Amino acid sequence: MEDIYIKFKTRLCSHLNYLMSIREIKTYAEVAEYCEIPSPGKIRKLNELLLEITKEDIIEKKPLRTALIVSKIEVVNGVRIPNEDFFKLLKCYNIYRGKNDKISIINFHKRLIENLFI
């Protein structure tokens, strides 16, 4: 089971790096499909992997590549953002210090994306 987990995590990290290089954002569903994460619960599994990668990127002081994966449900003024677990984790690590309103979160996410695409 551990080998399968590592395989999906490696595949996901490679895909995140690729998305960063081509300056593209994808939805959770698109990434789960591309990385062939199995059902049932493939979005939940993907989210767990993304949160783990986020923690590692924070600890290693790397850009937060997982910001490139957004929800097809969380849309505010036509802008898609990652799910709330992403922002909760960033709050725990004192990276996001803004308000919990959608506009503040969108602006913060926009800055994360800009930093990834430099």
pLDDT given for residue 73 in this prediction? 82
Please answer whether residues 64 and 82 qualify as being in contact, where contact means their C-beta atoms are separated by less than 8 angstroms: no
The structure tokens listed for 58 are 């924070």
Angle at 57 between CA 78 and CA 85, to 5 degrees: 45
Rounded Cα gap, residues 75 and 8, in angstroms: 27
pLDDT in tens, 68-84: 999 988 777 788 999 99
**Segment 14-36 mean pLDDT:** 96
Nearest-angstrom CA–CA distance, 34 and 30: 6
pTM of the entire structure? 0.90
